[in-house]
Amino acid sequence: MEPLLSIRNLRVAVDGREILKGIDLEVCRGEVHAIMGPNGSGKSTLAAVLAGREGYEVLEGEVLYNGQNLFEMEPEERARAGLFLAFQYPVEIAGVTMATFLRTALNEIRKARGEEALDPLAFLTLARERMEWLGIDPSFLHRAVNEGFSGGEKKRSEIFQLLLLEPQLAILDETDSGLDIDALKIVASGVNRMRAPERAFIVITHYQRLLNYIVPDIVHVLFDGRIVRSGGRELALQLEEHGYDWLRTDGETVVLPTLE
Amino acid sequence: MPTQQDELLERLTGSEYKYGFVADIDEELAPIGLNEDIIRFIWERKGEPEWMLEWRLRAFRHWRTMEEPRWAKVVYPPIDYQAIRYYAAPKKRHVQSLEEVDPEIRRIFDKLGIPLEEQKLLAGVAVDAVLDSASVATTFKEKLAQLGIIFCSMSEAIQKYPELVQRYLGSVVPYTDNFFAALNSAVFSDGSFVYVPPGVRCPMELSTYFRINAARTGQFERTLIIADEGSYVSYLEGCTAPMRDENQLHAAVVELIALDGAEIRYSTVQNWYPGDREGRGGIYNFVTKRGICLGKEAKISWTQVETGSAITWKYPSVILKGDGSIGEFYSVALTNHHQQADTGTKMIHIGRHTRSRIVSKGIAAGRSNNTYRGLVRILRGADYARNYTQCDSLLIGNACGAHTFPYIEVLNPTAVTEHEATTSKIGDDMLFYCRQRGIAEEDAIALIVNGYCREVLNHLPMEFAVEAQKLLAISLEGSVG
Ligand SMILES: Nc1ncnc2c1ncn2[C@@H]1O[C@H](COP(=O)(O)OP(=O)(O)OP(=O)(O)O)[C@@H](O)[C@H]1O
Ligand SMILES: [Mg+2]
């Protein structure tokens, strides 16, 4: 079957500096991929390029999403086609309530799917149900988007949006960082509830701890803009034990063949 | 590579003014220029009583001694007051009933979405339509008259209710007040007049729609609203003008008088032609608006949504004379392209236990400049006066400017004033976040701007809140998608 996402030799520069130096990655429906790697290795850059943030120069390579050239799609078109990014640092929007924001978003996505718009009441019913899954207080919907949210609340809000918008490909950028263990379990259970044969996940994390709860099919190690290693979830354990230095010799990066 | 900001600016500057048509109607015009003969011409055409001529001439003579104010943060070439026409009125305008309104004039207002047939009007809104210098139609007059409410053109009020007019005209904004008020007093040609008798709650919104049509013509309207003891009235004005390369002067004066326990809500949706994307043309909107709470526990509330005009210079104010009276000012001022706005309010606390509230939301896009200028003055006798001021600015793009000049003068130690101010920006981050959730950039901007303005829009009468919301979106929208 055709992969949901297929990245071929992707090279990306920011401000003239090459950050991604040739990424190859295929993600099929139903799979959960974890991406690990040291600070600054390019994980967020990869996520941002996939979501369509401005300011990144694609030097080479292509990305197909559902067989379509991703780079020909506007960010909102990607979102409407089911690509979702849980942000590492979600931005605050004063004056706009979560309810207004998310109902607008959901109805845009529903429109693209050929579904009817939800009226405020139907939206509220759905939103309340999904909030319950994550133990979020109903008053949350009346707060301004991300405004004054604690670090943990922001992460939880991102996962709530994922549950609400029901994407095909969800990219989670360090959704676990800053969460206490209980919150982590709740977030993971939300994600697990969404695991489905037609849906795929890319989970970016520094900690193997998260992968105890969201069990990945494949783990990739991103190092200096390249995927230097891919393997099963035992790779995450090895990284935890040995650190990223384990992938280096004499300060040089050893590019190991991927294990596919 | 164009950045997102560039594209955004491009889109913003590409927006179109939707009311820019010129209608061909037969108008009587005064010669261009200004002197005592022109004032006599206006006075004569309007068939006003003798005392009005004296009133006008006194103002005119005073105006000649005055200098145009230059303290506002706006830049424009000197205005040649001798190059303006001070009177233009449709020839066919004296009508006994609405059915007799010149079809061409009717078409103008239809096109603007202001039908003059009563059955077609929004339920609960009475309209006075002013074209250039003259009022052309007032709806629902009889129905209001049954309650003793007077709603008519200023010209008609001068003829029919001279005692009220003589007593109150110029009582809140005297001709000596400022340059533009003096000019207006000399040459004003029409406007709306409202009187609500004691204890009457006006059952419908009263609304005046101002339209400039003629070229090289200034509009100088005068509005006077008197709410007698314990009465209530809500009044709304809207305005548009054709697209012209020249700048046209609009110098209005609005006076509100609220007696004991009366309440006046005055809402403005100002959409004069703002000029083109290079800053050519557009209306100079130099307006003096002031209300006085003469009586105890009176209340005056200004709400304005300002999206039009090349330059806006306007400070709707409240003099809080009666003990326990309340003044409010809710404002959204949006500037785009090369527009300049210097707007705000004055709250003058004289009476005891007077309260005022100021909520100002400035939005600057393109290469525009948006200034809030406000004065809160608490006089010696204003025991326990209170003011709350909130003054926010929102920037879109990098080429615009927002400025705030809040002046606070407190002469009474028991008074409490609070001031809050914020400046924020619709950044790429915010837009990307919205787009990542499936919301297109333009809709995201509208969403953010509406959220930002909500508190002010909530103070508009409901039908107009929806209109204002659309107007904000249109003013920020571009031709390229
Ligand atoms: N907009 C930008 N401008 C300049 N440099 C950037 C920009 N975005 C990313 N970079 C640089 O690209 C490199 C990769 O950054 P990225 O955020 O992708 O790393 P990361 O793997 O997500 O790190 P972390 O684990 O700390 O989140 C870093 O050196 C960063 O400074
Ligand atoms: Mg990162």
Query: Is residue B365 pLDDT above 60, yes or no?
Result: yes
Query: Is residue B112 pLDDT above 80, yes or no?
Result: no
CA nearest B438 in A: which residue? A76
Q: What is the pLDDT of residue B113?
A: 67
Q: Which ligand is nearest to the CA of A40?
A: 1
Query: Is residue A260 pLDDT above 70, yes or no?
Result: no
Angle, to 10 degrees, between the axis of helix A120-133 and the axis of helix A151-165?
Answer: 120
Query: Is residue B249 pLDDT above 80, yes or no?
Result: yes
Q: How wide is the angle at C-alpha A196 spanned by C-alphas A194 and A200, nearest 5°?
A: 85
Q: What is the pLDDT of residue B479?
A: 22
Interface test mutation site (partner A, options B426, B430, B432, B453, max chain A beta carbons within 10 A): B432
Query: Is residue B375 pLDDT above 70, yes or no?
Result: yes
Q: How far apart are CA B314 and CA B180, in angstroms?
A: 11
Give the model's confidence band at B418: pLDDT under 50 very low, under 70 low, under 90 confident, else very high: very high
Query: Among B256, B264, B255, which Cα is nearest to B298's?
Result: B264
Q: Given the DSSP bridges, would you call strands A169-173 and A144-145 parallel, antiparallel or unpaired?
A: unpaired
Q: How far apart are CA A57 and CA B342, in angstroms?
A: 42
Tokens 């070439």 map to which residue? B77
Is residue A4 within 8 A of residue A28, CB to CB? The reply is yes
Lowest mean pLDDT: which of B51-60, B253-262, B459-468?
B459-468
Q: pLDDT (tens digit, 9 = 90+) per residue, A95-141?
A: 899 999 999 999 999 999 999 999 999 999 999 999 999 989 989 99
Structure tokens at B333: 């001022």
Chain-chain contact of A75 with B454 (C-beta, under 8 angstroms): no
Query: What are residue B395's DSSP bridge partners?
Result: B364, B425
Share of chain B above pLDDT 70, in %: 88
Residues of B with CB under 8 A from a CB of A: 1, 3-4, 424, 427-430, 432-441, 443, 447-448, 450-454
Q: Could you tell me how many residues make up chain B? A: 481
- For B238-300, give the DSSP string: EEE----SSEEEE--EEEEEE-TT-EEEEEEEE------TTS-SEEEEEEEEEEEE-STT-EE
Single-letter residue type at B240:
T
Which residue segments constitute the domains of chain A, with CATH numbers given?
A: 5-255 (3.40.50.300)
Query: What are residue B222's DSSP bridge partners?
Result: B253
Q: What is the pLDDT of residue A250?
A: 44
Structure tokens at B216: 């090289």
User: A80: which chain B residues are within 8 Å (Cβ-Cβ)?
Assistant: 438
Q: pLDDT (tens digit, 9 = 90+) per residue, A136-188?
A: 998 999 999 999 999 889 999 999 999 999 999 999 999 888 888 988 998 89
CA of residue A155 to ligand 2 center, whole Å: 14
| CA atoms in the 13 A half-sphere facing the CB of A37 | 26
- For B344-413, give the DSSP string: EEEEEE-STT-EEEEEEEEEE-TT-EEEEEEEEEE-TT-TT-EEEEEEEEEE-SSS-EEEEEEEEEE--T
| CA atoms in the 13 A half-sphere facing the CB of A60 | 9
Lowest mean pLDDT: which of A38-52, B221-235, B375-389, B466-480?
B466-480
Lowest mean pLDDT: which of B223-232, B314-323, B386-395, B398-407?
B398-407
Q: What is the pLDDT of residue B478?
A: 41
Give the model's confidence band at B125: pLDDT under 50 very low, under 70 low, under 90 confident, else very high: low
Query: What are residue B254's DSSP bridge partners?
Result: B223, B289
Q: What is the pLDDT of residue B481?
A: 25
Which of A24-38, B93-107, B114-128, B236-250 ranks highest by mean pLDDT? A24-38
Give the model's confidence band at B461: pLDDT under 50 very low, under 70 low, under 90 confident, else very high: confident
**pTM (two decimals):** 0.83
Residue B300: exposure state from Cβ atoms within 10 A (0-12, 13-18, ≥19): buried
Is residue A196 within 8 A of residue A228, CB to CB? The reply is no
Residues of A with CB under 8 A from a CB of B: 51-55, 57, 74-76, 78-80, 84-85, 87, 90-91, 93-97, 100-102, 104-106, 108-109, 112, 144, 161, 165
SS3 B440: coil
Query: Is residue B9 pLDDT above 70, yes or no?
Result: no
Give the model's confidence band at B23: pLDDT under 50 very low, under 70 low, under 90 confident, else very high: confident
Query: What number is the average pLDDT over the span B238-251?
Result: 79
User: Which residue's CA is the closest to the ligand 1 atom numbered 28?
Assistant: A40
Q: Which ligand is nearest to the CA of A13?
A: 1
- For B319-363, give the DSSP string: EE-STT-EEEEEEEEEE-TT-EEEEEEEEEE-STT-EEEEEEEEE
Q: How far apart are CA B438 and CA A76, in angstroms?
A: 4
- For A67-96, give the DSSP string: TEEGGGS-HHHHHHTTEEEE-SSPPPEEEE
Task: Write the secondary structure of A107-168 as one string of H (helix), E (strand) and C (coil).
Answer: HHHHHHCCCCCCCHHHHHHHHHHHHHHCCCCHHHHHCEECCCCCHHHHHHHHHHHHHHHCCC
Is residue B243 within 8 A of residue B214, CB to CB? The reply is no
Element (H, E) at A252: strand A252-253
Of A10, A11, A12, A14, the one to substitute when testing ligand 1's pocket (max ligand atoms within 8 A of C-beta) is A14
Burial A216-244 (b: 16+ CB within 10 A, else e): bebbbbbbbbbbbbbbebebbebbeeeeb
Q: How far apart are CA A215 and CA B477, in angstroms?
A: 46
Single-letter residue type at A245:
D
Tokens 């000029």 map to which residue? B275
Query: What are residue A252's DSSP bridge partners?
Result: A249
Q: Is the CB of A205 under 6 A from ligand 1?
A: no
Which of A225-234, B264-273, B383-392 ranks highest by mean pLDDT? B383-392
Task: Write the secondary structure of A208-242 as one string of H (helix), E (strand) and C (coil).
Answer: HHHHHHCCCCEEEEEECCEEEEEECCHHHHHHHHH
**Comparison of pLDDT for B477 and B113, the residue scoring more:** B113
CA nearest B435 in A: which residue? A76
Query: What number is the average pLDDT over the span B275-283?
Result: 82
Query: What number is the average pLDDT over the span B43-71?
Result: 95
For residue A128, is it left (φ>0), alpha (ψ between -120 and 50) or beta? alpha
Q: How wide is the angle at C-alpha B246 spanned by C-alphas B245 and B250, nearest 5°?
A: 130
Structure tokens at A229: 């290693």
Is residue B458 within 8 A of residue B427, CB to CB? The reply is no
Share of chain B above pLDDT 90, in %: 54
Averaged confidence pLDDT in chain B: 86
Q: What is the pLDDT of residue B299?
A: 98
Q: Beta-carbon neighbour count of residue B170 at 10 Å?
A: 21
Query: Is residue B105 pLDDT above 50, yes or no?
Result: yes
Q: What is the pLDDT of residue B14?
A: 45
The DSSP code for A245 is G
Give the model's confidence band at A248: pLDDT under 50 very low, under 70 low, under 90 confident, else very high: low
Q: What is the pLDDT of residue B94?
A: 53
CA of residue A40 to ligand 1 center, whole Å: 5
Give the model's confidence band at A251: pLDDT under 50 very low, under 70 low, under 90 confident, else very high: very low
The contacts of residue B384 (CB under 8 Å, 6+ apart) are B352, B353, B414, B415, B416
Lowest mean pLDDT: which of A31-45, B35-49, B457-471?
B457-471
Is residue B285 within 8 A of residue B314, CB to CB? The reply is yes
Q: What is the pLDDT of residue B17?
A: 67
Angle, to 10 degrees, between the axis of helix B441-457 and the axis of helix A98-112?
Answer: 150
Q: What is the pLDDT of residue B277?
A: 79
Query: Among B389, B443, B305, B449, which Cα is nearest to A93's?
Result: B449
Give the model's confidence band at A244: pLDDT under 50 very low, under 70 low, under 90 confident, else very high: confident
Query: What number is the average pLDDT over the span B103-109?
Result: 72
Q: What is the ipTM of this complex?
A: 0.94
Query: Is residue A43 pLDDT above 60, yes or no?
Result: yes
CA of residue B55 to ligand 1 center, whole Å: 72
- Measure CB to CB from residue B430 to each of A76, A91, A165 and give the nearest one: A91
Query: Among B85, B15, B72, which Cα is nearest to B308's?
Result: B15
Query: Is residue A3 pLDDT above 80, yes or no?
Result: yes
Q: What is the pLDDT of residue B124?
A: 58
**Comparison of pLDDT for B449 and A178, the residue scoring more:** B449
Burial A109-127 (b: 16+ CB within 10 A, else e): bbeeeeeeebeeeebeebb
